[in-house]
Amino acid sequence: MSFRAAIKDNFHRRWKDSVFALQFFNVMRFAAFFIVSILLVRIPLSVDQIASYEYVLFLSSIVTGWWIHGFIQGFMADGGQTKSVDKGVLFRSYSRLFFVFGTGMFAVVSGGIEVLAFYGVLSKPPTGFYFYLLFHFLLQGLILLIYYAHQKGWKKFIYLFSIYFFLIYVGSFFVLLKEGVLLDVVYRYLLVFALPVVAVWFYFYKKSEQGSPRQPFLPHVPHLTILMLIQGIGFLSVWSDGFWVQYFYGTGEVFAFFRYGGRELPFFVILTTTFSTAMIHASSTGQGLDRIKKGSQRFIRLFLPLSLILMLSSHFLFSWVYSDAFIPASFVFDLYVLLILVRVLFPRPILMAHRLFRPLLWVSVGELVINVVVSVALYWSLGVLGLILGTLAAHSFELGASLYLVRTRLRITMQRYVPVRLYLTFAITVVLAFVIKYGLFSGDWVEMLISP
């Protein structure tokens, strides 16, 4: 078989894999956000207007992302607990949980944002923010629907909705090309285009009732609550950088640089997070551990050359893709590339598969404490650099603690699911590339981001 034929055959096999379909969905989400970020610069909007959109996206992501990740992990853990679990019954239970919890969360979050804005802890939400927030809540429902399709093996459905989301999100922002149209109009369009998702969700909810008894959702609440707490703490740790940047610097120029600097990071995180979540139901078996190790090897071999190329050329890329004004954001991007070092190892799905939720909760608490303390302490001497270094320290702790739990609580050696030598080569190479780049070259704009 020729090299070209082998590549084609591998692609076809991957295309028929539901895990690959999940990764495709999440990559399309990222691609939509990324293309919109370019579109806003090219229209062009002012930096302040772009920062306004980034603030809306930032707030909506942080208040919806954490608990839906807990939902999905609970859904996958319950779905893989035994082979006798009825996927339809489970989907209906989690759908009702989503409606009850989501409605209450939307009300609490909306009130909380207004209170925090009133006291000056958060900047006041821009016009149209709540239209976008509601759209984001409906998007999380789509994610639950997508993972249900993954459990059922409906790959074409996942691909179809991936393309639908991409088209409605990017397409809605093209109305800004019409003179006089503001961002709040775009947010209204997005909400309208999200309504078909609700209709499809309701259709599958009713269809799954056929021949299956209705079961209460309360038995899922205890462990689901712990998982949402874990994810909530984890998201606070991840998104705390954005909070501190808007708190110390406001939502102007530095906040826009910070948000654009972290733009490419989700591409790495999307692939690894999707793989991690999809592997929860299988990670308690030897075959599952083998798949995790092979997944780590595949990600490292993909990310090593890609991260080096992006890091070494980031300042040129930001100038070319956006404009010269956004070159300072490349420094933030390079720092966040280092975070991929903790993303390519997967002890967490193993712990979740064995339902060690409480130890994971304490690890998450420690991660958050380290993030807040180290970030704030380093901010006063290193500015934005210090905030990001605090996040790197916290995530390193989380990875180390999770590896330790797998070794001590489950008696599974690291070599069983981690390609140790390949990982060490990856880590040393990426860190050296960062040190060499900024040891030899650093523009005046770096000073702005390391000054409190």
Q: Is residue 449 part of a domain?
A: yes
Per-state percent for the chain, helix, strand, coil, to nearest 5: 85, 0, 15
The answer for residues whose C-beta is within 8 angstroms of residue 44's C-beta and 6 or more apart is none
The residue-averaged pLDDT of 130-151 equals 85
Structure-token pair, residue 107: 């009300």
Domain residues for the domain of 115 are 16-216
Give the whole-angstrom CA distance, residue 159 versus residue 157: 6
**What is the pLDDT, as a whole number, of residue 113?**
82
Q: What is the pTM of this model?
A: 0.71
pLDDT above 60 for 195: yes
Q: Is residue 187 part of a domain?
A: yes
**What is the pLDDT, as a whole number, of residue 209?**
67
pLDDT above 80 for 394: yes
Q: Is residue 450 within 8 Å of residue 385, measured between CB atoms?
A: yes
**What is the pLDDT, as a whole number, of residue 212?**
56
Q: Examine the domain organization and report whether 88 and 111 are in the same domain.
A: yes
Write down how long the chain is: 452
Number of domains the chain contains: 2
User: Alpha helix (H) ranges present in 119-220?
Assistant: 129-152, 155-173, 183-207
In terms of phi and psi (left: phi > 0; alpha: psi -120 to 50; beta: otherwise), the region of 101 is alpha
Residue whose C-alpha is closest to residue 128's, from 64, 79, 60: 60
Q: Is residue 419 part of a domain?
A: yes
Q: Examine the domain organization and report whether 349 and 440 are in the same domain.
A: yes
Q: Examine the domain organization and report whether 29 and 146 are in the same domain.
A: yes
Instruction: Taking each helix axis as running N to C, give the angle between helix 286-321 and helix 265-278, from 0 to 180 degrees, rounded to the nearest 10.
Output: 160
The residue-averaged pLDDT of 182-211 equals 85
Q: Is 344 helix (H, G, I), strand (E, B) or coil?
A: coil
Q: Examine the domain organization and report whether 151 and 117 are in the same domain.
A: yes
Q: Examine the domain organization and report whether 250 and 391 are in the same domain.
A: yes
The answer for residues whose C-beta is within 8 angstroms of residue 442's C-beta and 6 or more apart is none
Q: Examine the domain organization and report whether 209 and 287 are in the same domain.
A: no
84 confidence band (pLDDT: 50, 70, 90): very low
Lowest mean pLDDT among 121-130, 212-221, 341-350, 365-374: 212-221
Residue whose C-alpha is closest to residue 318's, from 96, 117, 41, 126: 41
The answer for residues whose C-beta is within 8 angstroms of residue 383's C-beta and 6 or more apart is 449, 450, 451, 452
